[in-house]
Amino acid sequence: MFHRFVCPLFFFLLLPFALHAEAFVLKEEACETKLAELIDGAADYIDVSVYAINNKRLIKALIDAHHRGVKVRVLTDKLQAAGGSSRIWDLIAAGIPLRVHSHKRIMHTKVAIYDGVSVSSGSLNWTEPAVRKNEEVCDIFVNDPGYAQQHQKLFNQRWEANSQEKSDEWVREKTKERENKRQKVK
Amino acid sequence: MFHRFVCPLFFFLLLPFALHAEAFVLKEEACETKLAELIDGAADYIDVSVYAINNKRLIKALIDAHHRGVKVRVLTDKLQAAGGSSRIWDLIAAGIPLRVHSHKRIMHTKVAIYDGVSVSSGSLNWTEPAVRKNEEVCDIFVNDPGYAQQHQKLFNQRWEANSQEKSDEWVREKTKERENKRQKVK
């Protein structure tokens, strides 16, 4: 009875757990490489909610993904986005939907979700100094839809809490300011 | 043959995967509560490597753990530790071994390892503003020794890269500075 029925039943019940996530704890350069790989490997969508973004390699990878039809969305912190080292303008110029976090609280996460199955999190902002100058850690989960869904739920809440309209308005204002500054420099 | 030998073999091979980590994605207040629970629940040791530390509840939990015999070690960023809002002095006064990261790079992680089996990571510094004022995310893994070991390896490298001697010297210097300031205020 056990061998013929119960054991095969348990076998198939347990099998999905054996196919559980690959999980990686990565340092700075290795993290940047893995993030670029995850972006390059995405087929459907990438949802990014990262405090500060100016890492050239990751920005290029996001724009390339967008150009090959992957639905990219970026949520980032307003104060960081306005900073001199911010490169969100490249993402906006490429036509990637971007929202700035427009509430009082700082939007401090460093998360991306890839195709609803993989996730990156940890301490590393998507910046050059984070990769080249800091001691950081990334938590990377590949093929873990359950974990990805937990992050997706939070991303969706935060994405919805910041309207596209307000963000676009902010972007238009800042674009004008940047143009004015540029003309003064000339 | 399959039912009698192969199937039970697979059953026992797959069983450990079914007992895999509980993984939680938590926001600010829920994260603070979970971190306090993990600290309170630790029986053997807690290794903390966190950029900024001034959260009263977590500091109290660490000191309580230290007093009941849990081996607590704290690695933190030197610049943050020297800041006006730092509360590392409470940890030092309690006798908890603390090292400040004394290299050029910023020590930006927000990680703790509990008894070698559970881990917390993510974007949340162990501060009051992170919990009360920011949008943050914590990645928490309970009963996941494999994942904990990946973090432990990195913690050990960073702990060893910063000598106790240098840290103690820095603490003595800063303590003098703090005393001088206090006397001036009087």
Query: Which residues 6+ apart lie within 8 Å of B157 measured at CB?
Result: none
pLDDT band at A8 (very low <50, low <70, confident <90, very high): low
Average pLDDT over residues B4-32: 74
Average pLDDT, chain A: 91
pLDDT digits (tens, 9 = 90+) for A144-175: 999 999 999 999 999 999 999 999 999 999 99
pLDDT digits (tens, 9 = 90+) for A96-129: 999 999 887 899 999 999 999 999 999 999 999 9
8 A C-beta contact, residue B51 and residue B88: no
Supply B97's token pair: 């071994």
Are B18 and A14 in contact (CB < 8 Å)? yes
Q: Hey, where are the domains in chain A?
A: 21-185
Whose CA is closest to B138, among B128, B150, B130?
A: B130
Residue B16 reports pLDDT greater than 60: no
Residue A72 reports pLDDT greater than 60: yes
Cα–Cα dist B92/B94, whole Å: 5
Are A18 and B23 in contact (CB < 8 Å)? no
Are B20 and A24 in contact (CB < 8 Å)? no
8 A C-beta contact, residue A22 and residue A94: no
Average pLDDT, chain B: 91
Show residues of chain A in contact with B105, CB under 8 Å: 133-135
- Ramachandran assignment for B10, one of left (phi > 0), alpha (psi -120 to 50 degrees), beta (any other): alpha
CA torsion B141→B143→B144→B150, rounded to 10°?
A: 80
Average pLDDT over residues B137-152: 97
Q: Which CATH class is domain A21-185?
A: alpha beta
Tell me, what's the pLDDT at B56?
A: 97
**Residue A105 is nearest to which of B17, B133, B139, comparing CB atoms?**
B133
Residue B19 reports pLDDT greater than 70: no
Are B135 and A123 in contact (CB < 8 Å)? no
pLDDT digits (tens, 9 = 90+) for A34-71: 999 999 999 999 999 999 999 999 999 999 999 999 99
Smallest CA–CA distance, residue B7 to chain A, in Å, is: 6
**Residue B139 is nearest to which of A101, A134, A139, comparing CB atoms?**
A139
With CA atoms as reference, the chain A residue closest to B12 would be A11
**What is the ipTM for the molecules in this complex?**
0.87
Residue B1 reports pLDDT greater than 80: no
With CA atoms as reference, the chain B residue closest to A151 would be B25
pLDDT band at A182 (very low <50, low <70, confident <90, very high): confident
Are B136 and A20 in contact (CB < 8 Å)? no
Residue with tokens 């004015």: A180
Cα–Cα dist B88/B65, whole Å: 16
Q: Which CATH class is domain B20-173?
A: alpha beta
Does the pTM exceed 0.80? yes
Are A122 and B124 in contact (CB < 8 Å)? no
pLDDT band at B21 (very low <50, low <70, confident <90, very high): confident
Show residues of chain B in contact with A139, CB under 8 Å: 121-122, 139
